[in-house]
Structure 1
Amino acid sequence: MIRITFPDGSVREYEAGVTGFQIAESISPALARSVVSCGVNGETVELNRPIEADARIALYKFDDEQGKHTFWHTSAHLLAEALQELYPGIQFGFGPAVENGFFYDVLLPNGEMIKEGDFKKIEDKMIELARKNEVVVRQEISKADCLAQFGAAGQTYKCEHIEQDLADGSITTYTQGNFTDLCKGPHLVSTGDIKAIKLTAIAGAFWRGDATKDQMQRLYGISFPKKKMLDEYLLMLEEAKKRDHRKIGKEMELFMFSERVGKGLPIWLPKGTDLRIRLQDMLRKIQKTFGYQEVITPHIGSKNLYVTSGHYAHYGKDSFQPIHTPEEDEEYMLKPMNCPHHCEVFAWKPRSYKDLPFRCAEFGTVYRYEKSGELHGFTRVRSFTQDDAHIFCRQDQVKDEFLRVLSIIQTVFTIFGFGEDQVEFQISLRDPEDKEKYIGSDEVWASAEQAIIDACKEKGIKARCELGEAAFYGPKLDCMVKDAIGRRWQLGTIQVDYNLPERFNLEYTAEDNSKRRPVMIHRAPFGSLERFTAVLIEHTAGHFPLWLAPEQVAILPISEKYNSYALEVANYFDTVGVRATVDNRNEKIGRKIRDNELKRVPYMVIVGEKEAAEGTVAMRQQGGGDQAVMPKEAFAERILGEVAEMLKATNLKPEN
């Protein structure tokens, strides 16, 4: 008998060789019908994979992230199987599951191209194959046999992948029907669970992401176990189009991109800059109460700095390449990370145990090279500003400091209306089987990982653990939020790091006059200002909280005769702390109202002859809400009162 431990800590005994499906069936037939894969000692595997020894197990449904990954992984193979039948001679590249569905890179023979008009017949073929409920068969295979098999099938790209990337003794294939693919898994037991499919897009993709290699077609899709779920997803997509931060950002004049400046290099326009400054000021006020000191570091650094930190070895290919200065024979890099600079801030003078914790914060702009095809508005850029901070503390201070950072992150989420049911936490751990990916000793990693787990328990946070998702220098807690239409976004992160202090030879003088290494905690509640702003735009559809909105009030004179009174009102609002602009264009009032609605200005006030004579304004709320005529002073008090009430709820002081 073997002992199976479940996520809640309960233990059951089973015969050796039991499968995940059999375990689910022993709990309840309903559970067995809904599970799609299982986790065995942290590895997601098929439900029919035998378990031969004591193990920790988790059963995943489609609703779980691991379940979706399994479902969509098999759907990618189903797509390839359908394409193989429809387009004889097709060449296959890679076809993984991704965050929202799956894709497959393919190349049709004779210069043929798949078009959006072909989607329906491909979807129909996929459904036809799925209804056959084909069993998915996993096989371990030697490198020689694998090359022979895919060579005989004429799969050039697969053979290149086998030769260059795969080691003998580590290769597995998965077969369903007449289609076989190289794959590590996991997969569904059979294809019959796939009930609803939608191909969503097609794009160009270079083989291996290398612009010097063949250009293939990347076909994207998504699938579900129920048609109702697909219908709901398609409705969400329509809503997402309306909320697209690129569209709203342009309408609200928040940011722009310029091909002359360079791809993926965002420019914050005046209104966006105003919003960004308010975000920074909000976090500054919170950080100040927690004892942070702000610094500013250069946008470039010596290559040796990032060699010392390990970033060059691990992220060098994703960074802009070094700039060589021939006269001085030096190499510099655009800053890909702030943490090495902050290590130097700590090291610039002797530190005592009495100085710790030392909390160093910076709104630091960093630069990372992203392929042009992966750039996406504010969410994927080459230049972005992190709300970065690094805490240097003693070992006995780690848990308390971690808890303080959690308090900051939870405060930020509360301010922007992300409730407990919308926030998820993931503890990202090292994969013990892939030690080359990380730096530092086993003891250091064990200590850092346990510190995060203990802090989450003390805070009452239910966090799932994910192997292999840690940063190369330490484990981390990643914070995900669900927006107003249910999409998940990763925002804040906290990382515990014993390794960079070692690499930079950082030390402090302990109470007994010995030299000790500090522990370093990395944290960024927003993640980056660009990504957070994009998420905030799409979460609110551009209707920002009144305290944050770049323009709180648009003043609309009915005609040019009342421009001077409109300016008088604007000046008064400015003196009392209400942000207002005057729309003095020579347009009809209806056009002005429509345009300012599009800009999501929270309030509009209309002024004409009666208002100018009486010192009043005709208030109109965004979206056609409250309308009233009142003295300008009363309206200003209303705005300031609303802002004060919002900020009171977040423990912030009302400031203009």
Structure 2
Amino acid sequence: MINITLPDGSRKPFDDYPTGLDVAKSISEGLARDCVAMEIDGSLLDLNRAIKNDAAVRLITTRDDEALDIMRHSAAHVMAMAVLNLYPDARLTIGPVVEDGFYYDIDMEPLSEEAFAGIEAEMKRIVKAKMPIERREVSKAEALAFYKDEPYKTEMISDLADGTISFYQQGNFTDLCRGPHVPHTGFVRSFKLMRVSGAYWRADQSKAQLQRIYGTAFFDKKKLKAYLKFLEEAKKRNHRKIGAAMDLFSFHDDAPGMPFFHPKGMDVWNALLDFWRDAHREAGYVETKTPIILQRGLWEKSGHWENYRENMYTTEVDDQAYAIKPMNCPGGMLLYSTRPHSYRELPIRAAEIGLVHRHELSGVLNGLFRVRAFHQDDAHLFMMPDQIQAEIIDLLRLEERVYSKFGLGFHLELSTRPEKSIGTDEQWELATSGLRSALDAYGKEYRINEGDGAFYGPKIDLHIKDALGRTWQCGTIQLDMSLPERFDLTYVGADNEKHRPIMLHRTVFGSIERFLGILIEHFEGKFPLWLAPVQAVLLPINDDLVPFAREVATTMTDAGLRVEVDDRTESLNRKIREAQLAKTPLILTCGAKEQAAGTVSVRTLDGTVRYGIPLARFIEQTTAHVAERRLNLDLFNE
């Protein structure tokens, strides 16, 4: 007799070993048709697995959060089967689920998106057949024998520990996989192949380049249609296209992955950093600056050489090894160590906008989102143990104030110790509990992200949400007790003895380049007035009014506004249209009436027009709006 306990606490007895499908059918046939998998004692398993012991079982239906990833994993297998049916010489590697879909890396001839229609047609045939997806367990030796002619699968199996290995089969297609999967291919109802790119086997440039085919899948057509519509909206907001159109930044082959900021891009950059500096000054920070290149010994001491070496650029000068800094932390440690410190000084809040370089594979570079050179708005906070909670709460409030200025919400995650780490168990436990207690006191909901902390300490990550509902991890707060020990940092306590400070690493924007890219897409280039590269453009309606427009521009510039005059011999309507395409917040028409009355007529991007505004009042209200860094352009509404 096997007893199954359901989530509502009810128990169902079975005379034989039931499968998850048997349990579902014992409740209703409709439930059974909608089930994709089951959860037993916290583990997700295939619905057709036999349950051989009394267990608590939760049935996973198409409406549960876990179901979509399970189905997308099966969709990757359907796609791989379709590719093999059409390209028999192809060799499979791995096909994981990723955010918003799945991909499969395949060793095959170069593929173009024109081939997608044929692959999708073959996938539809496989889906329509509703082929059962069945798990088979074999020994490692049997698995190696099965894949003796498949070099990638053989390599993967060889890396596994001895023991049972699982295969999944649908029709004549078999793949090495942990699972779980949906019961049959018919669950892969609505799918689309998205793009193809190159990827090196195991991210090693010395190994074979593969074809990485991306796809997505949903349980119904409406959700797929909504997702594709979302992608179209995201495409319109692509920061690379908007950045080029607005003349903000560019990339060049001579420095791959390293952005060049143009004058208008620097206007946005400086406005962003002016705000950052004001917010940090109010929060009690001092600003520091450390060198971009430091000796290898320093990186060995910090642990970066051992744990981060593959991402660092190195060089040799006078027979001495150096590394360009991928992080600002070691320089911050040296700054603290330059003189003795008293407990009366603590906490010390030292911020740095540091230029860092990290080696990224060319295939992952993505505009401002993934670069090799960027500025990180680090800060290192040194404190006594009893100051931890208050400092973290203050940090969270600072981040909240900063993000709200852009209309960005956020959620919190606590990331715990990864497999590869430095420091003692006691240090990690103290650091993790310190972050957890601060989050509890802060009072906002947070998630636990097991094993995703930094190698030197646990962290709180802040994931902001943009106008399209996408989330981006930007801010982070990391409690580190290892680096102060490695650098022998101390302060003199009230007992006149030396003590080890606790240190917090933290960022608000994270990578400033990436944050700017996020803002471009969040606002679709229509920045708040205080952040816009050109805040106003003046359009004289004829050549005779150009001097008047320039005079107004000078007055506005003297008041601290960023202004241009469009004195081209184009029609006024064309100038207005081009100013709108350039996302200029304020478009001022300068005509004879305005010149005579000392006024301006103002058009905003939402199409609102205000006529005959006295120039002095316009400048007063506009500069006040900019000084307050308001989010919405609500000028002249009284």
Distance, in Å, in 2 between the alignment partners of 1:532 and 1:398 is 27
Distance, in Å, in 1 between the alignment partners of 2:378 and 2:501 is 18
Confirm or deny: 8 A CA contact 1:551 1:581 kept in the other structure: yes
CA positional deviation for 1:140: 4.6
Deviations 1:192-247 (A, max 9, x none): 43211000111222333333333322111111111100000111111111100001
CA positional deviation for 1:571: 1.2
Counterpart of 1:211 in structure 2 is 205
CA positional deviation for 1:47: 6.2
User: Are 1:523 and 2:506 an aligned pair?
Assistant: yes
Counterpart of 1:652 in structure 2 is none
Confirm or deny: 8 A CA contact 1:294 1:361 kept in the other structure: yes
Confirm or deny: 8 A CA contact 1:597 1:623 kept in the other structure: no
Counterpart of 2:467 in structure 1 is 484
Counterpart of 1:393 in structure 2 is 383
Match among 349, 353, 356 for residue 366 of structure 1 = 356
Match among 301, 308, 316 for residue 294 of structure 2 = 301
Distance, in Å, in 2 between the alignment partners of 1:54 and 1:496 is 43
Written as runs of structure 1 = structure 2, the 5 A alignment for 1:65-464 is 68-108=68-108, 112-151=109-148, 154-163=149-158, 165-169=159-163, 171-260=165-254, 262-320=255-313, 322-325=314-317, 327=318, 329-419=319-409, 423-430=410-417, 435=419, 437-464=420-447
Deviations 1:13-62 (A, max 9, x none): 99999999999999999998877667788876656778999999999777
Deviations 1:161-200 (A, max 9, x none): 333x333237443333333223344544544432110001
Cα pair distance change 1:119/1:612, threshold 3 Å: same
Confirm or deny: 8 A CA contact 1:3 1:11 kept in the other structure: no
Deviations 1:574-600 (A, max 9, x none): 233332111223333222222211110
Counterpart of 1:653 in structure 2 is none
Cα pair distance change 1:406/1:139, threshold 3 Å: farther
Distance, in Å, in 2 between the alignment partners of 1:502 and 1:30 is 61
Secondary structure in 1 matching 2:381: strand
Cα pair distance change 1:54/1:442, threshold 3 Å: farther
Distance, in Å, in 2 between the alignment partners of 1:403 and 1:440 is 25
Tell me the amino acid that sits aligned with residue 229 of structure 1: K
Distance, in Å, in 2 between the alignment partners of 1:438 and 1:45 is 31
Tell me the amino acid that sits aligned with residue 222 of structure 1: T
Secondary structure in 1 matching 2:147: helix
CA positional deviation for 1:380: 0.6
Where does structure 1 lack aligned partners over 5 or more consecutive residues? 650-656
User: Are 1:594 and 2:581 an aligned pair?
Assistant: no
Match among 559, 569, 581 for residue 542 of structure 2 = 559
Tell me the amino acid that sits aligned with residue 207 of structure 2: K
CA positional deviation for 1:572: 1.1
Deviations 1:55-89 (A, max 9, x none): 99999777887654433222212211222222223
Confirm or deny: 8 A CA contact 2:405 2:631 kept in the other structure: no
Cα pair distance change 1:69/1:300, threshold 3 Å: farther
Cα pair distance change 1:19/1:253, threshold 3 Å: farther
Aligned residue pair count: 629
Distance, in Å, in 1 between the alignment partners of 2:491 and 2:55 is 43
Where does structure 2 lack aligned partners over 5 or more consecutive residues? 633-638
Distance, in Å, in 2 between the alignment partners of 1:39 and 1:455 is 33
Secondary structure in 2 matching 1:106: strand
Counterpart of 2:636 in structure 1 is none
Confirm or deny: 8 A CA contact 2:68 2:219 kept in the other structure: no
Distance, in Å, in 2 between the alignment partners of 1:592 and 1:122 is 48
Deviations 1:308-332 (A, max 9, x none): 2222222211222x2012x3x2111
Tell me the amino acid that sits aligned with residue 591 of structure 2: G
Distance, in Å, in 2 between the alignment partners of 1:448 and 1:21 is 45
Confirm or deny: 8 A CA contact 2:133 2:169 kept in the other structure: yes
Cα pair distance change 1:495/1:54, threshold 3 Å: farther
TM-score (norm 1): 0.87
TM-score (norm 2): 0.89
Confirm or deny: 8 A CA contact 2:415 2:448 kept in the other structure: yes
Tell me the amino acid that sits aligned with residue 445 of structure 1: W
Distance, in Å, in 2 between the alignment partners of 1:611 and 1:588 is 18
